[in-house]
Amino acid sequence: MDQDELESQLEKQIQYLVRSAEAFDAGHQDEAPRIATTIRILLHESRRSRSLLGLLRVRGKIQILSTSTFDFKTDKTYGTCTLTGFETDSQGMRVVPQYDRVARSRPMPAHQWWNEVIFRMPQMDKYTRRDFVLFCANKDGGAHVDSHPEKFKRIKDGNINFTGKKDGEEFKFTNILECAVRQMAYEILNSPDVQALVHS
């Protein structure tokens, strides 16, 4: 592809992200794998494939907004998904994306954003944005459907050592992965460097 074709692809992928994010916010959380697949196209680099931002030669130059509420390298925290929050109503408590309701946000280089730890729970591994995106896109219906690796099955099933209560009964939070992926879309779409690429 030449430069014009790559730029056209970038605009297309960003529009996919916008539409999937809107559908997610309208109640269709099953859009999360599509969001993850688009983010993978934009950012994932491997021995066999290049990211779209890499092909555009900007992946190593741009910054992406991080709304992660903790820095696991310095902050002492029991364990959390740093991209999600909770809302409570008459139906009980549920996991939601943070959107702009965060204590801090900051731009960071794209490769650092991609590999930032955004989930940790006691007796569980740490997970980065890359981990969440590739699992959602490659295993959970984005580009492929496959059996869930055991370490992600716990997250999908809500077995994360954290539960809520409604009418005296405990319930599990099973949509952390989806809400975290939606928050990543928010971060990308609200990054000035990404906006400048699309509108240049």
pLDDT digits (tens, 9 = 90+) for 123-179: 677 889 999 999 989 875 444 444 556 677 777 776 665 655 565 566 667 788 999
Cβ-contact 118, 127 below 8 angstroms: yes
Which portions of the chain are predicted below pLDDT 50?
Answer: 141-146
Tokens of 55: 């092909």
Say what the pLDDT of residue 76 is.
58
Q: Which pLDDT score is estimated for 86?
A: 84
* pLDDT score recorded for residue 140: 58
CA–CA gap between residue 24 and residue 18 (Å, rounded) = 10
Which amino acid type is present at position 100? Answer: D
Q: Which of 165, 191, 179, 190 has its CA nearest to residue 80?
A: 179
**What's the rounded Cα separation, in Å, for the pair 200 and 82?**
32
The two tokens of residue 170 are 């405990």
pLDDT score recorded for residue 142 = 46
- What's residue 28's pLDDT? 96
pTM of the model: 0.88
Closest CA to 43 of 194, 195, 172, 168: 194
The pLDDT value given to residue 154: 73
Spatial distance between the Cα atoms of 25 and 16, rounded to a whole number of angstroms: 14
Spacing of C-alpha 54 from chain mean position: 19
Rounded Cα distance between 162 and 102, Å, is 21
What pLDDT sits at residue 74?
63
